[in-house]
Each structure stands twice: as C-alpha cells, then as structure tokens.
Amino acid sequence: MDTWKPVALVADISPDTGTLRVVHEGEAVCLYKLPDDICATQDRCPHGNASLADGYLEDGTIECPLHQGVFDIRTGKPQCPPVTTDLRRYEVRVEADTIYLKAE
C-alpha cells in the first residue's frame, strides 16, 4: 500500500516565489505552485550547492539562482546549460489543502 506523508499546506507556499523548501524523509524537497498543479523535485541543484526554492519560477520551469540553469518542473529535465542532470521528482497528492509526498 502506498504511504503518503504530509509536508506542508498549500498556503505555506509563498505567493511571491511560488516555491517552498521542505524536508521529506531526510531529503530537501522543493514544492512548486503552478497555476493548475503542485509539483515537487529535489531542492538542491545537481550542478552545485544551490537551493532551487530560491530560484525563479516561470511557465513551469525553475531557474537556479546560482548559474541560471533551467529545469522543466513537470519532467525534471534540464533545459539549458550548465545543468545536464535530471531533477529527482516526487509524487504529490493534495487533500483538503494539505500537500502529501509519496513515501519510499
């Protein structure tokens, strides 16, 4: 049976940045509020030591604050140099305004 863990409320996601860093099973995870969806990926940029929650969210992509690498949030795929590695993605469920991530 799938196990889901509550990590935040939808209202906890900053309306200014559209992102929120949470810890899920010991890993830093970034939540993203898209117009029609909530997504989650690893928070740490695979290129360096940057938190994607501090990045710039636009049109379903996140731009890393350190060297401006861009990822597609829904697929985790890198979109431009210098990033070349996919982001780990997490399954998200929202119930009664609570955001759950699937547990391993």
Examine residue 78 and tell whether it contacts ligand FES (CB under 6 A).
no
Q: Per CB under 6 A, which region of 8-16, 27-35, 64-72, 95-103 contacts ligand FES?
A: 64-72
C-alpha 80, offset from chain centre: 18
Query: At residue 69, what is the residue type?
Result: G
Examine residue 28 and tell whether it contacts ligand FES (CB under 6 A).
no
Closest-CA residue to 66 (of 57, 56, 78, 77) = 56
Question: 3-state class of 52 per DSSP?
Answer: helix
CB of 67 to ligand FES, least distance (A): 3
Please, which residue, 6 or 48, has the CB nearer to ligand FES? 48
* Nearest-angstrom CA–CA distance, 4 and 74: 19
Among 66, 75, 76, 102, binds ligand FES (CB under 6 A): 66
